[in-house]
Chains A and B, each alone.
Chain A
Amino acid sequence: MKIPFKYTIKNFTSRKLTTFITIFGVALVVFVFTAVLMMAYGIQKTLKATGQPDNVIITRKAANGEISSLVDGETQDVIRTLQHIAVDKNGKQIISKEPVVVINLEKLNGGMSNVTVRGVSDVVFELRPQVKIIEGKMFNFGLRELIVGTGVTGKFKGAAIGDEVKFAGDNWKIVGVFDSEGSGFDSELWGDSQQLLNAFNRGNTISSMTLKLDNANNFDDFKKQFDFDRRLQQFEPKIEQKYFEEQSEFMAAFIRIVGLVITIIFSAGAIIGAAITMFAAVANRTVEVGTLRALGFKRRSILTVFLIESLVIAITGGLIGIFLASFLQFINISTLNFQSFSELAFSFSLSPSIIFWSLVFTIIMGIIGGFFPSVRAANLKIVDALRAV
């Protein structure tokens, strides 16, 4: 026969403070666990959203990121002759040649950081339809003008419309703000590709070339052309989405590993906390357990009731922790992405799978913490238990 669930609930009220402390401890651990996963996911989500599935980015094979990649003019000409490149309605190939550099800007809340400046060609809006000008206007091709992403404009000094940014011996006027639906481009400044090349004296050597495929399924065929052309041996095409996702790999893995190692270490602390509480609960109720056994309840029922008690504590704490962590979604943070060597704005981001894993983690804590005390309770001998003082 089962012991009613009400018994479990009643028990909590008899030791409010201890129960509350244990729940709070579990909540803290789950909060940190969830927050770490949310942070890593936030970075990944931002960079994944940066690419389009039918865009291809071409960089030098050995380069870790766009700023250390160089694609010279000859190579660009060879790439233009390849098949499967989409054309716009005027018959022009949808290719953006992009010099990418990093400049220092002063943050509004103090300190300097690196910001990416990307040169783009005039087909860029066809290439990246998620990018929209939300304030001011598009820069003029042929002028030293820039547009800024929403992640930059509110965070850095001198990055609002009308301001001028000084680099490469010139003043660049900011004429518009663009939004790219929460992608990594939000943390960038964009200008005319040719103007940037001239200003930096780079001739025709760009960092990367991004083009649209006529059909996303043709990527393998497109890639094969690189294997067969000796002039393209040093270069590598990648689906843009995959490329930017890989740019987040190092950071996301770093946060996950450091964060999870830490949470797992101190989840041991919370498990111990739960175990202490449960052991005390068992010790205090020895007579009660004896009585229940004498009434005919099975050992298994006793075990279950204590395990359930521990699980209820853990799950309550876990839910509180996840609930509190969900508020982190309103916080936008930015950090240096080691791979691209520039600032990346992102926000904590919750997904169903994070909630699922946090709950699994919680339940594991509850079971481990409650198991041994429950076994002890179930193994009490009726006579000894009834005699206990």
Chain B
Amino acid sequence: MKILKLIVKNSLRHKLRTILTIFGIAIAVFAFGLLRTVVTAWNAGVEASAANRLVTRQAVSFIFPLPLAYRDQIEKIPGVDVVTYANWFGGVYIDKNQFFARLAVDPETIFKVYPEFLISDDQYQTFLKERNSCIIGQATADAYKLKIGDIMNVEGDIYPGEWQFVVRGIYKPRDKSTDATQMLFHWDYLNERMKEWATGRDNEVGWYVVKIHDPSKTAQISDQIDALFKNSRAETKTESERAFQQGFVAASSAILTSINVISFVIIGIIMLVLGNTMIMSARERTREYAVFKTIGFSGKHMIGLILGESLFISALGGVLGLIVSFPMVQGISQAIPKGIFPVFELEPITLIFAVSSAILIGVAASIFPIMKALKTNIVDGLRFIG
């Protein structure tokens, strides 16, 4: 108990220095948390993927279409529950900086395959009836202040021309990781325009999403699907939704790697700041430690004193950093467009990482001063004049 009191008293001896150090640690813990959040936001698509969904796309690249006729063939494979399909529509809504996914989908099946998009039944029924209607995610509805009955004008690029959609539904995300930014409209609407405008580009599907009954058969069913279309003009590549999403993440791995490196550099910097403070404190107290030793305190007490002070400061800094992180991350997620990072949240694992790194740093920063305090013998210590 006495030693605890001593630790607190010691920490408060240089109030300014301690406060600065705590701020330093808090800032670093916050920066660390922010970076990890960017990384998790990047991986959000992977986290959101379901184990029972496969994605079938053109083998050469995602940008080439597949024939609509593949649908019936895929459906016949045993173990396949539902097959749905979608086309990336792209286009420009308002201006080129407004980015969120705009997809032409099969209205009958899309919500069966994506149960995490929650839509009320009456909205869904109106959507089914109206050809040029669309359903948008809650986040997009909020961002552009869209409500049911509003008209969205989109200028097409991949599918040229002026397009108009009527908002007939707003879906809510079921989980935190669900993307609530998408805009979904009737695939038939797209296809009819294509028939008139560009024959040869009708009845084409961007990709298929296959819901299977038993997730353990992923590999087997994937192979079966790809075997169906082997040596055709449009060969397919089927993989689990997770692997498909990971492909996207891996493509920007250079940036992710640098963010990861930077987050470790940050830990290094916290260590330096705290280490510096601890070294200074221990150095100033060389004489005191000698006195402690003279009156019979053992090495264990010395370790306790220095380590305790280091942990005390780092814990305070860590907690302060976390307290700052919550409103800051919230603010940043408001500031960046939803379309870029549909999910931007502090994950529990990030918090655990941040706190444990602060504690680890507390320990690491005290090693050097402890070693020095233990090594210095009483006579030299008493003679020390700073």
Write out the residue numbers on chain A whose beta carbons fall within 8 Å of the beta carbon of B272. Answer: 21-22, 24-25, 28, 273
B96 at the interface (CB under 8 A from A): yes
Kindly state the separation between the CA atoms of A129 and B346 in the bound complex, as whole angstroms: 51
Query: Are A102 and B61 also in contact (CB < 8 A) when A63-B157, A68-B157, A255-B255 are?
Result: yes
B306 at the interface (CB under 8 A from A): no
Residues of chain A within 8 A of B21, CB atoms compared:
272, 276
- Chain A nearest Cβ from B9, distance in angstroms: 18
Q: Please give the number of chain A residues whose Cβ is less than 8 angstroms from any Cβ of chain B in the complex.
A: 63
- Residue contact A262 to B35, C-beta cutoff 8 Å: yes
B62 partner residues in chain A, CB cutoff 8 A: 102, 104, 114
Q: Is the CB of A335 within 8 A of B254?
A: yes
Known: A266-B28, A268-B27. A343 touches B63 (CB 8 A): no
The answer for the CA separation of A21 and B24 in the assembled complex, in Å, is 15
B residues 212-265 with Cβ under 8 Å of A?
Answer: 233, 247-248, 250-255, 258-259, 262, 265
Is A203 among interface residues, defined by CB-CB distance under 8 A?
Answer: yes
List residues of chain B with CB within 8 A of the CB of A62: 91-92, 155-157, 160
B60 at the interface (CB under 8 A from A): yes
Nearest-Cβ distance from residue A389 to partner chain B, whole angstroms: 10
Tally of chain B residues near chain A (CB < 8 A) = 55
Report yes or no: A234 in contact with B31, Cβ–Cβ below 8 A.
no
> Which B residue's beta carbon lies closest to that of A67?
B63
The residues in A between 40 and 93 inclusive whose CB is less than 8 angstroms from any CB of B are 60-64, 67-70
- Which chain B positions have C-beta within 8 A of A29? 269
Rounded to whole angstroms, the CA-CA distance of A200 and B272 in the bound complex is 58
* Given A24-B272, A265-B31, A269-B27, CB of A201 within 8 Å of CB of B200: yes
Q: Least Cβ distance of B382 to chain A in Å?
A: 15
The answer to whether residues A32 and B252 also contact, given A22-B276, A101-B63 and a CB cut-off of 8 A, is: no
Check A277–B262 contact: CB distance below 8 A.
Answer: no
Q: Which residues of chain B are within 8 angstroms of A25 by Cβ–Cβ distance?
A: 269, 272-273, 276
Q: Is B34 an interface residue (CB 8 A)?
A: yes
Contacting residues of chain A (258-312) with chain B, CB-CB under 8 angstroms: 258-259, 261-262, 265-266, 268-270, 272-273, 275-277, 279-280, 283-284
The 8 closest A-B pairs by CB, nearest first: A336-B251, A272-B24, A335-B254, A63-B157, A167-B60, A25-B272, A62-B157, A68-B157
Query: 7 additional contacts, CB 8 Å, given A64-B157, A276-B17?
Result: A18-B276, A25-B269, A28-B268, A64-B90, A64-B96, A265-B34, A335-B254
